Structure 1
Amino acid sequence: MSTLPRSFEQPLERFYEYLRSERELSLHTQQNYKRQLTCIAEQLLELGVENWQQVDAGWVRQIASKGMRNGLKASSLAMRLSALRSFFDYLVHQQVLPANPAKGVAAPRKARPLPKNLDVDEMNQLLEVNDDDPLAIRDRAMMELMYGAGLRLSELVNLNVRDINLSKGDLRVIGKGDKERVVPFAGLACEWVGNWLKVRANIAHADENGLFVSKLGQRISNRNVQKRMAEWGQKQAVSSHINPHKLRHSFATHMLESSGDLRAVQELLGHANLTTTQIYTHLDFQHLAKVYDAAHPRAKRR
């Protein structure tokens, strides 16, 4: 039996009946709503709130803050606030409340899991593609370029032949927000793009501008690139699943570990904000401490 007072319980019971009869939600979903709303009601009672009409945005924020302090995951807190918003929408529709006080209160963003990067040995293992088939040459050129220049998948696919300057070792990229940047690339990336350009004309349609094309002679698609890279990961016996973003992530991590130059890596990746680069590269604290100890003039012992 519920220990909630009638001022809390009656509106909830009417809402549960509405979920059952009108919205026809599954029993599992109904139970989730009931669990979340009961928890919220108990917390509001502890805070001295006597009924639902007293709840304003400030009380809702307190509920969210309490959930965070209690270690509630972002996804669980989002579910709790979603249940509360649905309940208050119902009360507004029933003219019990003039407005929904939970409408403007957002749950914290879920932490986006970052893809694991490949270490240098795994990257070398992946890129040791020695096959004279034109499509294999194309695939190695794509992988070398993604890892060598830190490109996004869309940037790679949208490259045109005229965007590449092999003699200067740079390429023109249109990134997010249609922002243009010039990215250096050298060494094996430059060599294998050159190898691909020698055989590209045998596959590409005469009027095709795309740098990388499919076996049908047209600009290669995002999906085709993803599929081919996953296949090469299996062929080269790399332990983890290979996708284009993992190559970009590995570029960022390896560049930052080697240089310690966050600003330069930000420019190379085409990030508008430095905070994005900091999240993206996940340098461990030990490496940061070594950089600090080696670089800061007051960190060295006399």
Structure 2
Amino acid sequence: MNGVSPLLAAVEGFLRFLKVERQLSPLTQINYRRQLSALIVLLDELKVVDWARLDAALVRSLAARSTRSGLKPASLALRLSALRSFLDWLMSQGMIKANPAKGVATPRAGRHLPKNIDVDEVNRLLEIDLNDPLAVRDRAMLEVMYGAGLRLSELVGIDLGHLDLASGEVWVVGKGSKERRLPMGRTAVHWIENWLEMRELFDPEDNALFLSNKGKRISTRNVQKRFAEWGVKQGISSHIHPHKLRHSFATHMLESSGDLRAVQELLGHANLTTTQIYTHLDFQHLASVYDAAHPRAKRGKS
């Protein structure tokens, strides 16, 4: 179809709503625009010129065409989610009477959960040869990452004012700008103190806790690179990256405590279901808890 699609005007109105009213991040706005633009292309091919013509069968056809074009399940789920949100907005504007995308199932994407490393491997990873200040910094970063279960962005975002070493706590800003205070553990506090004694050697340019060798806040890419290098040096069998340490923290905490709610709070998850998936609860552990606790599981003499 030549020229500008008649479907585009409503999308532009929706995107203005996301920017002004919802104040979503620029990246989220770009993602919505990309997915809805792709859908307009498909609808143009089908000679659809009015959003009110959409029904469940047409939405399923769009999903099928997207899949045939090579779109992966996770990306298709994102596309359908963008469409649902857009159609909800059209309803709120009185432009359509119902949302036909609501009844179309989202394909399940396979979950690729990171494997955790066991406690012995964590201990081996953290036994770093401390022959230079950067090694002390890296040891402190590893201890804090594993000790508090932080996200990578939370680790590099720590400022000096975010620490309460007396109580062994750190203050971080997580997803959605949500703040939380977390315990770090005595070992992490000890290595932060060791690093603070050497931090001034790098002529700090700001209040960032962890610095690069140029005195600036360390970048996420630098942390990823250093962690991977230490994994190789320490003879760890799997690739070491920050998310794996966070995942290991969650797994080890859950195995020891069995307190899913507490682990949820520590990780900063909004939903408990996220924590359940993240920590890949061991079915055998659940079965043993069930057998020990549930009245109907207790076997008495017949």
The TM-score normalised by the length of structure 1 is: 0.66
Residue 290 of structure 2 aligns to a residue whose secondary structure is helix
Residue 209 of structure 1 aligns to a residue whose secondary structure is coil
Distance 1:262 1:187 in 2: 23
Pick from 212, 227, 243 the counterpart of residue 210 of structure 2: 212
Distance 2:197 2:295 in 1: 51
Distance 2:129 2:138 in 1: 11
> Does residue 123 of structure 1 match 2:122?
yes
Describe how 1:220-239 pairs up with structure 2 within 5 A.
220-239=218-237
> Does residue 111 of structure 1 match 2:110?
yes
Give 1:117 deviation, angstroms. Answer: 0.7
Whether the 8 Å contact between 1:74 and 1:107 is mirrored in structure 2 is: no
Match of 1:284 in 2: 282
Whether the 8 Å contact between 1:262 and 1:277 is mirrored in structure 2 is: yes
Give structure 1 regions of 4+ aligned residues with deviation exceeding 3 angstroms: 58-65, 73-79, 101-107, 294-302
Whether the 8 Å contact between 2:74 and 2:108 is mirrored in structure 1 is: no
* Residue 77 to residue 250, structure 1, CA distance change in 2 (3 Å): closer
Given residue 201 of structure 2, which amino acid in structure 1 is its aligned partner? N
Residue 173 of structure 1 aligns to a residue whose secondary structure is strand
Match of 2:142 in 1: 143
What whole-Å deviation, never above 9, does each CA across 1:156-190 have from its counterpart, x for those lacking one? 00000111111101111111111110101113212
Distance 1:156 1:63 in 2: 41
Residue 208 of structure 1 aligns to a residue whose secondary structure is coil
Distance 1:109 1:203 in 2: 48
* Residue 300 to residue 130, structure 1, CA distance change in 2 (3 Å): farther
Distance 2:198 2:163 in 1: 16
Give 1:106 deviation, angstroms. Answer: 6.0
* Residue 291 to residue 239, structure 1, CA distance change in 2 (3 Å): same
* Residue 184 to residue 113, structure 1, CA distance change in 2 (3 Å): same
Match of 1:255 in 2: 253
Distance 1:197 1:290 in 2: 45
Given residue 266 of structure 1, which amino acid in structure 2 is its aligned partner? Q
Give 1:107 deviation, angstroms. Answer: 3.6
Distance 2:151 2:136 in 1: 20
Give 1:296 deviation, angstroms. Answer: 3.9
Distance 1:240 1:75 in 2: 27
Residue 172 of structure 1 aligns to a residue whose secondary structure is strand
Residue 181 of structure 1 aligns to a residue whose secondary structure is strand
Give 1:63 deviation, angstroms. Answer: 11
Given residue 190 of structure 1, which amino acid in structure 2 is its aligned partner? V
Distance 1:268 1:58 in 2: 44
Give 1:198 deviation, angstroms. Answer: 1.4
- Give aligned-pair identity as a percent: 64
Distance 2:75 2:132 in 1: 53
Residue 263 of structure 2 aligns to a residue whose secondary structure is helix
Match of 1:162 in 2: 161
Given residue 126 of structure 1, which amino acid in structure 2 is its aligned partner? L
Match of 1:197 in 2: 196
Give 1:60 deviation, angstroms. Answer: 6.1
> Does residue 246 of structure 1 match 2:247?
no
Given residue 136 of structure 2, which amino acid in structure 1 is its aligned partner? I
Distance 2:227 2:118 in 1: 17
Larger-Rg structure: 1
Given residue 268 of structure 1, which amino acid in structure 2 is its aligned partner? L
Whether the 8 Å contact between 1:163 and 1:171 is mirrored in structure 2 is: yes
Distance 1:273 1:196 in 2: 35
Match of 2:291 in 1: 293
Give 1:252 deviation, angstroms. Answer: 0.4
Residue 287 of structure 1 aligns to a residue whose secondary structure is helix
Residue 180 of structure 2 aligns to a residue whose secondary structure is strand
Gaps spanning 5+ residues in structure 1: where? 1-54, 66-72, 83-100
Given residue 169 of structure 2, which amino acid in structure 1 is its aligned partner? D
Distance 1:77 1:221 in 2: 28
What whole-Å deviation, never above 9, does each CA across 1:73-101 have from its counterpart, x for those lacking one? 9739959x99xxxxxxxxxxxxxxxxxx9
Distance 2:74 2:147 in 1: 40
What whole-Å deviation, never above 9, does each CA across 1:11-37 have from its counterpart, x for those lacking one? xxxxxxxxxxxxxxxxxxxxxxxxxxx
**How much is the aligned-residue C-alpha RMSD, in angstroms?**
3.1
Give 1:294 deviation, angstroms. Answer: 3.3
How many equivalent pairs are there?
Answer: 223
Whether the 8 Å contact between 2:74 and 2:109 is mirrored in structure 1 is: no
